[in-house]
């Protein structure tokens, strides 16, 4: 009873501490989000005069930003910090929510340089990684439990989204849908504190207006079928976006010479940006133009003449829509740092524009004219719903960042259709696909989440006396008689596992003194029904227990060195403790 009371007091104290720290995390993340945005604008302002004098500089500038980022990563940071959201998921599932301290600044600095010089990526994933790192390091410094450190990681990520878009509800939903697998009502309070505080910081520095200025037309119910059609197109485009990105990353990862990779990627990005200026940087200026009914951005391109015809405009934006994935992947592969979050919004806006412009051009004389700005806005949400597989986040993010609440019904309709179409062929989002393939993905299924968190290496017990392969039965009798275990590992002098001897097999010969010298360990040894690798996923370990019917199995390393045994009872005990830890209500 006293232990229970003490535990409750500790949890209550940590809960109060968590609320204060969530405010601190939100404020810090909000300031860092502003710093990143202002840093990008500053660098863009410095290089913009070069582009105004001669747009051919766009071929060179992205490569300069990528090179500086790559040099910082290689010689200063000495770590891979790409794929920020994915790295946060891995930290939660495989590293006790611990994120290195340098991630509180390294992602911001390198993405600022990458995007400022024209790299075709987004700033949102780096700031999410930075916010999560801030939460993780503050939680570690405060010596919080794994569960509460994880909540602070979510607070940092939520604050990052809220701060960069001035969208507190979207920040909360982003964390709930994508990052944290088990959100209780008590956990939502610190998340809300972080998102609100980060948004307030953004309001102080940037005003209370929406992130994007829009010129929307009122929603008309008769346009719903066209919004549903947009959802289908966005679902198919989501598949293209996710699978093409991952395949291109696999291709570039096979290139082992970093300078050759940088040269190829920087020239690739530069040429794409030169031909299609909307691919320069995040592309939010062009999104803003589309949201107010202005389709341009190609005046500096040698292909500007295509904008003189209705068909040419559609072809240009189809090319931009398809090539953004390539320019984004080239930027990251060449040493730049940025995410897919921003490009998803950009491509979604382009998809919405292409669809509505095509419908108006093809059927404008027969049907009424559809509002282009509305479809641009809805396309942003629909593509995000498919690529990120987070429809709630997508709906509320676009509504909050644009003020497009009047289009709530088409936002919901198109996002739901896009999400559903994507899930027919793709179960995982662009953030979770690789993690799911490795078996480390946490899900909203509590049982599966707990199994993912359990580490085989931490459940190994080495209390079993080891036997020598050539020892006689008489030589091992003293060891056997003093032990209470049911199995004995047989290990060579080099530590390599040879097999095991069970107590039931020894018991047959305990009173047969003639067998003491006649029988040896190798006569009594048998092979286990299965062995377990020290880094094996717990789901795989449980499959082996189920298939073999064994109660305990030996654990070996890659060289087959014996490390100990893992038992069903120990797994069950650890499972119960972990489930209580992640599900505990304050």
pLDDT at 448: 60
Q: What are phi and psi of 307, to 5 degrees?
A: -75, -5
Residues 243-278 as b or e (16 or more Cβ within 10 Å = b): eebeebeeebeeeeeeeebbebbbbbbbebbbbbbb
pLDDT score at 92: 80
- Which of 414, 368, 363 shows the shortest CA–CA distance to 233? 414
User: To which CATH superfamily is domain 2-206 assigned?
Assistant: Clc chloride channel (1.10.3080.10)
User: What pLDDT is attached to residue 385?
Assistant: 96
CA pseudo-torsion sign 125, 127, 128, 130: positive
**Is the model's pLDDT at 91 over the cut of 90?**
no
The answer, yes or no, to whether residue 294 has pLDDT greater than 90, is: no
What one-character DSSP code corresponds to residue 367?
Answer: S
Residue span(s) of the chain under CATH 1.10.3080.10 come to 2-206, 221-444
Q: What SS3 string covers 284-334?
A: HHHHHHHHCCCCCCCCCCCCHHHHHCHHHHHHHHHHHHHHHHHHHHHHHHC
pTM for this predicted structure: 0.81
Q: Pick 27 or 577 by higher pLDDT.
A: 27
3-state secondary structure 446-461: HHHHHHHHCCHHHCCE
Q: Stretch 336-362: mean pLDDT, rounded? A: 94
As a whole number of angstroms, the distance between CA 506 and CA 421 comes to 61
Lowest mean pLDDT among 161-165, 240-244, 361-365, 540-544: 361-365
pLDDT tens digit sequence for 434-473:
777 665 555 555 556 666 667 788 889 888 899 988 888 8
* pLDDT band for position 554 (cuts 50, 70, 90): very high
- At residue 2, the pLDDT reads 46
- Non-local CB neighbours of 81 within 8 Å, separated by 6+ positions: 73, 87, 103, 106, 107, 110, 126, 129, 337
DSSP character at residue 72: I
User: In this predicted structure, which of 175-189, 192-206, 505-519 has the lowest mean pLDDT?
Assistant: 175-189
Lowest model confidence (mean pLDDT) among 119-123, 126-130, 146-150, 162-166: 146-150
pLDDT at residue number 583: 55
Percentage of residues in the chain with pLDDT exceeding 90?
57
Most confident range (mean pLDDT) of 38-42, 185-189, 401-405 is: 38-42
Instruction: Please check whether residue 48 is in contact with residue 277, taking contact to mean a CB–CB distance below 8 angstroms.
Output: no
Please state the CATH superfamily assignment of the domain spanning residues 221-444 in this structure: Clc chloride channel (1.10.3080.10)
pLDDT of residue 420: 96
Q: Give the homologous superfamily in CATH for domain 450-583.
A: CBS-domain (3.10.580.10)
How much is the mean pLDDT over the chain? 88
pLDDT bin (cut points 50, 70, 90) of residue 90 is confident
Instruction: Out of 25-29, 272-276, 491-495, 526-530, pick the least confident.
Output: 491-495
DSSP 8-state secondary structure symbol assigned to residue 211: S
pLDDT band at 586 (very low <50, low <70, confident <90, very high): very low
Per-residue pLDDT at 3: 47
Quick one: pLDDT at residue 585?
47
Average pLDDT over residues 349-366: 89
| Confidence label for 372 from pLDDT (cuts 50, 70 and 90) | very high
* Helix, strand counts (H, E) of the chain: 24, 5
Query: What's the pLDDT score for residue 5?
Result: 53
Q: How far apart are CA 556 and CA 203, in angstroms?
A: 56
Rounded distance, CA 313 to CA 317, Å?
Answer: 6
Q: Give the pLDDT confidence score for residue 97 in this predicted structure.
A: 83
CATH 3.10.580.10 in the chain: give the residue spans.
Answer: 450-583
Average pLDDT estimate for 185-190: 80
pLDDT of residue 527: 93
State yes or no: pLDDT of 514 exceeds 80.
no
First to last CA, the chain: 18
1 pLDDT tier (thresholds 50, 70, 90):
very low
């Amino acid at each position: 009873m006293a232990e229970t009371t003490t535990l409750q007091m500790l949890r209550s104290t940590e809960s109060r501490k968590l609320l204060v720290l969530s405010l601190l995390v939100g404020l810090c993340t909000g300031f860092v989000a502003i710093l990143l945005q202002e840093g990008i604008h500053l660098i863009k302002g410095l290089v913009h005069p070069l582009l105004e004098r001669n747009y051919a500089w766009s071929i060179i500038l992205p490569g300069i930003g990528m090179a500086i980022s790559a040099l910082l990563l290689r010689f200063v940071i000495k770590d891979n910090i790409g794929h920020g959201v994915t790295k946060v998921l891995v930290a939660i599932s495989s590293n006790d929510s611990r994120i290195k301290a340098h991630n509180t600044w390294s992602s911001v600095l390198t993405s600022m340089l990458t995007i400022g010089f024209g790299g075709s990526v987004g700033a949102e994933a780096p700031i999410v990684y930075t916010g999560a790192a801030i939460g993780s390091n503050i939680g570690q410094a405060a010596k919080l439990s794994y569960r509460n450190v994880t909540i602070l990681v979510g607070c940092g990520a939520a604050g990052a989204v809220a701060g960069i878009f001035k969208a507190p509800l979207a920040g909360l939903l982003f964390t709930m849908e994508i990052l944290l697998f088990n959100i209780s009502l008590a956990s939502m309070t610190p998340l809300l504190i972080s998102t609100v505080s980060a948004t307030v910081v953004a309001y102080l520095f940037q005003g209370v207006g929406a992130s994007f200025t829009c010129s929307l037309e009122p929603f008309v119910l008769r346009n719903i079928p066209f919004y549903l059609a947009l959802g289908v197109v966005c679902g198919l485009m989501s598949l293209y976006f996710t699978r093409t990105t991952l395949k291109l990353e696999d291709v570039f990862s096979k290139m082992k010479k970093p300078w050759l990779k940088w040269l190829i990627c920087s020239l690739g990005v530069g040429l794409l940006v030169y031909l299609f200026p909307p691919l320069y940087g995040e592309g939010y200026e062009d999104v803003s133009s589309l949201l107010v009914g202005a389709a341009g951005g190609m005046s500096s391109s040698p292909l500007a003449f295509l904008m003189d015809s209705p068909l040419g405009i559609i072809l240009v934006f189809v090319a931009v829509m398809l090539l953004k994935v390539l320019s984004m992947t080239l930027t990251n592969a060449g040493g730049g740092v940025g995410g897919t979050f921003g490009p998803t919004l950009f491509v979604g806006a382009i998809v919405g524009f292409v669809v509505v412009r095509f419908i108006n051009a093809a059927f404008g004389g027969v049907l009424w004219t559809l509002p282009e700005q509305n479809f641009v806005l809805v396309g942003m949400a629909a593509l995000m719903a498919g690529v990120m597989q987070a429809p709630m986040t997508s709906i509320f993010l676009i509504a909050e960042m644009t003020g497009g609440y009047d289009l709530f019904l088409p936002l919901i309709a198109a996002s739901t259709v896009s999400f559903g179409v994507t899930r027919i062929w793709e179960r995982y989002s662009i953030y979770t696909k690789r993690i799911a393939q490795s078996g480390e993905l946490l899900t909203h299924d509590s049982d599966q989440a707990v199994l993912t968190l359990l580490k085989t290496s931490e459940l190994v017990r080495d209390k079993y006396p080891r036997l020598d392969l050539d020892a006689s039965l008489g030589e091992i009798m003293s060891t056997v008689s003093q032990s209470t275990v049911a199995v004995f590992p047989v290990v060579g002098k080099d530590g390599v596992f040879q097999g095991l001897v069970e107590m039931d097999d020894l018991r047959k010969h305990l009173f047969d003194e003639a067998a003491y010298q006649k029988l040896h360990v190798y006569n009594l040894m048998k092979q286990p029904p299965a062995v377990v690798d020290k880094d094996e996923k717990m789901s795989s370990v449980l499959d082996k227990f189920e298939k073999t019917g064994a109660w305990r199995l030996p654990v070996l390393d890659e060289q087959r060195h014996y490390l100990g045994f893992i038992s069903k009872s120990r797994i069950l005990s650890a499972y119960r403790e972990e489930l209580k830890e992640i599900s505990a209500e304050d």
